[in-house]
Amino acid sequence: MATRNQRGIVLPMVLIVGLVLSASIFSFLRQSMMDSMLARNRELVTSAEDLARGGVAVAKAVIFHHRFSKLMGLLDNKDPGATLDDLWAQTHQTPLTTPWGGRLVVTIQDAGSKLNLNALVPTGKTEEESQPTEEAEEFLVQFLEKVLDESKGDLSRERYNARDMAQNLLDYLDPDDVGISGKREDDYYSSQNPAYAPANGPMLSVEELALVEGFDALIVARIKPYITVHPLLGEEGININTAPTHVLALVQHGSSGDMRLADEDIVRSILKGRDQGKIICNQTEADPERCLSLSEVGLGEGALFPPVGLPQEATVFRVISEAQVENVVRRVEAVIDISNREMPQLLSWKLL
């Protein structure tokens, strides 16, 4: 009887031990697979990030080569101004692939193709010479009202006042501490938690706009596609020859007291000229065969605001380098300045 009972106990014990061993083996295999997958994913992430960083180096080479070729007179294009027919503007149309399955798309944009907020306040030697003009305020009011009107109710006019926002932005940028309306500029910023001070100089990033009194992340997100902060110094307006369609609608034209944003007909006229290989020039004598005058595209004989000399050369570029390795995508955004003929300068770098 004892032997039979012992046998009856041993069998369940063997089964239990077997189940425990099986569960342990399964757990070990599962952990091994997870470790292997994590290691593989880290490898893919590293490869994608390295490839995206390499894309910025490619952009530097393309931009600098194009400028060198222009300076040396190696291009057929006699005009020095930047256009979307330039080599740097075509790179996104030709994705690069690697032997190990990576894919890289490098997009290069002229920073001048957007509205430079820092160009709205002159960079004079004294505070008096660095004060924003009435034209700058009126332009910003029209721009902000356009954004609010096109928001389809998402941005309430009760919450955002275009005039106040325009003045606050110019106050944030100008070097003094007295607002356009006569208030002390520091009052709002010193009351924040944590307290900070207005820049009283150029903004260093588009995101900094959310720090300005009257602005927040929501409206900055709506404005972001239209604006840049580069170059940090300088007063050049929008480069009509490289600006995207939505930014062309921000070109303000006319005479003093009667300045207005470009309408749809003007934007279409500019785009039509581009399609025909033309460029917009202040003086058509520079290249009579290619140049269209401001009046020929509907901008009239008046001034543009912010003022811009056309054709305009591009010296600061925004680079978007997007790399994909299998299912992993990494993106680097950088700003490159080539105003120094000997060495391109990396102004900013962001890995996404």
Q: What's the mean pLDDT in 222-234?
A: 93
Domain boundaries, the chain: 45-112+314-351, 117-227
Give yes or no for residue 262 having a pLDDT over 80: yes
Q: How far lies 47's CA from each of 98, 204, 320, 323, 345, in Å?
A: 11, 30, 17, 9, 25
Query: Between β-strands 279-280 and 291-292, what pairing exists: parallel, antiparallel or unpaired?
Result: parallel
Q: Residue 180, Cβ neighbours under 10 Å: how many?
A: 18
Question: What distances in angstroms separate CA 6 from CA 9, 14, 222, 344, one per listed residue?
Answer: 5, 12, 79, 85
What is the layout of strands, in order, in the sheet containing 303-305?
258-261, 252-255, 303-305
Instruction: Of 272, 249, 271, give the one whose Cα is nearest residue 260.
Output: 249
Instruction: Calculate mean pLDDT across residues 208-237.
Output: 94
- Whether the pLDDT of residue 194 is over 60: the answer is yes
User: What would the pLDDT profile of 89-100 be if each residue is shown by its tens digit?
Assistant: 999 999 999 998
Of 328, 329, 346, give the one whose Cα is nearest residue 337. Answer: 346
**Per-residue pLDDT tens over the stretch 140-189:** 999 999 999 998 777 877 789 999 999 999 999 999 999 999 999 999 99
- pLDDT greater at residue 329 or residue 65: 329
Residue-wise pLDDT for 285-308, tens only, equals: 878 888 999 999 999 877 899 999
Question: What tokens appear for 129 in the block?
Answer: 């010479």
Residue 130 binned pLDDT confidence (cut-offs 50, 70, 90): confident
Q: Give the C-alpha separation, 278 to 297, whole Å.
A: 11
Q: Where does residue 250 rank: exposed (0-12), middle (13-18), buried (19+ CB within 10 A)?
A: buried
Candidates 3.30.1300.30, 3.40.50.2300, 3.40.1550.20, 3.10.20.90; CATH matching 45-112+314-351? 3.30.1300.30
Tens of pLDDT, residue by residue over 76-124, are: 655 568 999 999 999 999 999 999 889 999 999 999 999 999 999 998 7
Distance CA 97, CA 324 (A): 10
User: Sorting pLDDT into bands at 50, 70 and 90, what band is 51?
Assistant: very high
What six digits make up the tokens of 198? 């207005």
Q: 242: burial class by Cβ within 10 Å (0-12, 13-18, 19+)?
A: buried
Q: What is the mean pLDDT of residues 299-328?
A: 92
Average per-residue pLDDT for the chain:
88
Residue 18 scores a pLDDT above 80: no
User: Which helix (H) or strand (E) element contains residue 70?
Assistant: helix 2-71
Dig out the tokens for 240 from the structure: 């009509």
Q: What are the angstrom distances between the C-alpha of 38 and each of 28, 32, 325, 327?
A: 15, 10, 15, 14
Which CATH fold topology does 117-227 show?
Answer: Ribonucleotide Reductase Protein R1; domain 1 (1.10.40)
Q: Which helix (H) or strand (E) holds 333?
A: strand 328-337
| DSSP count for the chain of H helices, then E strands | 7, 12
